[in-house]
Amino acid sequence: MALAQHTVIQIVEEYETHARIELGQILRLSAAGAFVQVQSLAHRLVGPSVNLGLKQCAERLKAIESQPQARIPNGAGLSDCLEKSIFWLKKHFENILHDIAG
């Protein structure tokens, strides 16, 4: 069964909102030493990242999930990865929707 256009866009927008918030929380909680919460938040982000095809982000989040006590080496790089992945995901869906409409 195909998803309606507005449903696909809504899924991506909801992921974008929650991923940004939760990634910020992961970085803050990691710095504070709250590793159980870091692991939990990373786990919650891995699934949707995989489902949306954001392989690189998912791999980085899996690494955090598997070793939440390890220092996150490049938080800015992880945020950048998320931003770029979301940008290209939106572009991809825009192209698909444009092709369907055209």
CA-nearest of 19, 11, 18 to 61 is: 19
What's the rounded Cα separation, in Å, for the pair 17 and 90? 13
**pLDDT for res 59:** 95
**pLDDT for res 32:** 96
Token couple for 75: 């938080």
Question: Tell me, what amino acid is at 3?
Answer: L
* DSSP category for residue 70: S
Residues 1-45: tens digit of each pLDDT: 466 667 877 888 899 999 999 999 999 999 999 999 999 999 999
pTM score: 0.84
Residues 43-60: tens digit of each pLDDT: 999 999 999 999 999 999
Question: Tell me, what amino acid is at 87?
Answer: F
**Sign of the alpha-carbon torsion through 68, 69, 70, 76:** positive
